[in-house]
Chains A and B, each alone.
Chain A
Amino acid sequence: MNISSNAVKPGLKQWLTSDTPQSRWQAKCGRAWLGWLKFTENRLAMIGLSIVLALILVTIFAPLLAPYDPLAADLTNRIQSPSAEHWFGTDQLGRDILSRLIYGAQYTLMIVALVVITAAPVGLLVGTAAGFFGGWIDATLMRITDIFLAFPKLILALAFVSALGPGIENAVLAIALTAWPPYARIARAETITVRKSDYIEAARLQGVSNMGLILGHITPMCISSLVVRVTLDMAGMILIAAGLGFLGLGAQPPMPEWGAMVSEGRQFLLEQWWVSTVPGLAIFIVSLGFNLLGDGLRDVLDPRGGD
């Protein structure tokens, strides 16, 4: 087993680092491999990657990992201190905090994922359209972007949620509405650098439509800077989502959302400090993970952005 995998490795490595790639696919894999090598050198980025991977694994395997039902109240076991049975103790309804944390990971990841798949395409579309067409379309779209960019994010999200009503979907919508403008800015900047390129002209001469040019030839050029920015923003999204949860405007009880859990523990802060502390720590670690990962990705994918 070991021998065979060792035998494959040199061949694979050679294939990846070949100076004369035989196909576009091989060249792409080679680039990715070099990027990965550079990424693994960055210890902090690797820590970030492990945190994010751990979050994803916990999300997927929550039912297997959680020792208790996160919603099962047990009033005889209220606010217990951490013990062998309940590693992080129990909350005011006797629910196991560890199990609630594990299920809470699902909400955190879900909110981030939903915000990203809502906000990133919108930003990408607005930005590429503005950069590609120029003129009054550019001016109008960028003016709208600037208006949204000039707003204080949390306050705007608060106002949106207050109008739409509390709940996790509305929190996602509110965060997405405040998240897209930077992506539009980035996509526009990238579009402007490539729109006059020869390869775009060549594609146009071959009869590719404007829509086809934007989607097939310009959008791919924006992806790497966008990925960096989105990863860095994920930490901020987690914090805003947790803030909304803390205010009671995000996920509604009894959902085990981390921000709401911090808020529920407030009343026992003096004697049972772990009820608030532990979920807050989880928010901190996860958003730190996204920040570290984003920093590492920036060094690899977008050398200009680093200092």
Chain B
Amino acid sequence: MTAATRKSRDGRTRARLFSRTGGSLVRILFSLIITFVGLLLVTFLIGRVLPIDPVLAAVGDRAPQEVYNRVREEMGLNLPLWQQFFVYIGNVLQGDFGRSVLTANPVLEDIKRVFPATLELATLATIIGVFLGVPAGVFAAINKGKWPDHIVRIIGLAGYSMPIFWLGLMGLLVFYLKLDWVAGPGRLDAFYIDFIEPTTGLMLIDTLIEGDMDLFWNAVSHIILPASILAYFSLAYIARMTRSFMLEQLSQEYILTARVKGISETRIIWRHALGNVMVPLVTVIALSYANLLEGSVLTEIIFAWPGLGLYITNSLLKADMNAVLGGTVVVGAVFIGVNMLSDVLYRLLDPRARR
């Protein structure tokens, strides 16, 4: 084969690879849209099967029939169901989830206010989970069948089996009530709460911007326990997946080649094998991040963490449907988005996935 034909073939392959990636990206986008419409359909139907009449909720049950009819028409409830669904999609796309009965604010405004708290918690938890889970998985894989492997496996299984709300309570009991190592529920001590202007909404960053180290350490002391408890769940998942990816890599022939060449075992494991594991691991980490955004619901209740989970459950217990459905759509959309993003990342990072 001459250099010229090889070059042209490379070019052709690259062009084809690119177009295929493009094709699959379009397909991903398409399925993203379909899934999102499906999400809206489900929340729409949930809103409709609700036994409470939304008109009665708005006008009260003493309102005369004309008022009732007028409000019903204003709310678009006289339209056929499919038309109502399209109106609903249009509203959601404009960010209009209606008004929360509980706070009297538009739901979107409420969500914007509470979302950073959840984001901060889930992000810190994922960081902790990755920094502990990946090495744990690698150690388990190197020592397959020996006691480090069993310990990691048992820790992981316990993580899968633990009710998170209970673990949170036990954490509070031991580390806050008994040992007093960390601060209790909430994001800051009540004494400090008025001192801070929400700029980003992320307490750790806001306090740093203000340059107030007292506030910063107070915020750290508040977030560390809920974040660690959430992190345990992502740790269990990340360690398990890392272990199985590593085992797959370590049985490959290129590892044998590297060993024959005399490369040190440390380098083989942490550079060669782990380097190849990183790509599928990105997907796993993204998935666990999405799961934490959801998993934080129960944690937020235990720790009185003013995030999206607490907002949804509080609204739910007061039958504030606009807020519940709005929150569900936002969490669902983030969840779907992160899932798809991890899919796209995987395709971009791993050349084999393009074929």
Contacts and interface: CB of A to CB of B under 8 A. Distances in A.
A63 interface: no
Most buried by B among A147, A162, A276, A291: A162
B162 interface: yes
B39 interface: yes
B47 interface: yes
Contact of B163 (A147, A159, A243, A290): A243
A68 interface: no
B294 A154 contact: yes
A106 interface: no
Which DSSP category, helix, strand, loop or mixed, fits chain A's interface?
helix
Contacts of B123: none
Contacts of A162: 46, 316, 319, 321, 324
Contact of A262 (B162, B169, B297, B336): B169
Which DSSP category, helix, strand, loop or mixed, fits chain B's interface?
helix
B43 A284 contact: no
A266 B339 CA distance: 35
A153 B43 contact: no
Interface residues of A, number: 47
Most buried by A among B34, B47, B328, B336: B328
A162 B327 CA distance: 13
Interface in A242-277: 242-243, 246-249, 259, 262-263, 266, 269-270, 273, 276-277
B165 interface: yes
A242 B164 CA distance: 10
B161 A243 contact: no
Given A150-B35, A163-B49, A262-B166, A291 B42 contact: no
A249 B173 contact: no
Most buried by B among A143, A152, A243, A270: A152
B295 interface: yes
Nearest to B330: A155
Given A163-B49, A239-B163, A269 B177 contact: yes
Given A159-B46, A243-B163, A307-B243, A152 B170 contact: no
B3 interface: no
B160 interface: yes
A159 B166 contact: no
Contacts of B298: 154, 243, 246-247
Contacts of A249: 316
Given A163-B46, A164-B49, A284 B162 contact: yes
Most buried by A among B290, B316, B321: B316
B280 to A, nearest CB: 13
Contacts of B332: 150-152, 155-156
A146 B37 CA distance: 12
A247 B163 CA distance: 13
B295 A154 contact: yes
A284 B167 CA distance: 10
B301 interface: yes
B260 to A, nearest CB: 26
B51 interface: yes
B313 A283 contact: no
Contact of B165 (A164, A246, A288, A290): A246
A283 B166 CA distance: 9
A235 interface: yes
Contact of A284 (B161, B301, B316, B324): B161
Contacts of A259: 163, 165
21 contacts: A143-B34, A150-B35, A151-B42, A155-B328, A155-B331, A159-B328, A163-B46, A163-B49, A235-B160, A239-B163, A242-B165, A243-B165, A249-B316, A259-B165, A263-B165, A269-B177, A284-B161, A284-B163, A288-B158, A307-B243, A307-B244
Closest 6 CB pairs of A and B: A280-B166, A147-B38, A152-B294, A288-B161, A307-B244, A287-B161
Interface of A: 143-144, 146-148, 150-156, 158-160, 162-165, 235, 239, 242-243, 246-249, 259, 262-263, 266, 269-270, 273, 276-277, 280-281, 283-284, 287-288, 290-292, 295, 307
Interface of B: 31, 34-35, 38-39, 42-43, 46-47, 49-51, 157-158, 160-167, 169-170, 172-173, 177, 243-244, 247, 290-291, 293-295, 297-298, 301, 312-313, 316-317, 319, 321, 324-325, 327-328, 331-332, 335-336, 339
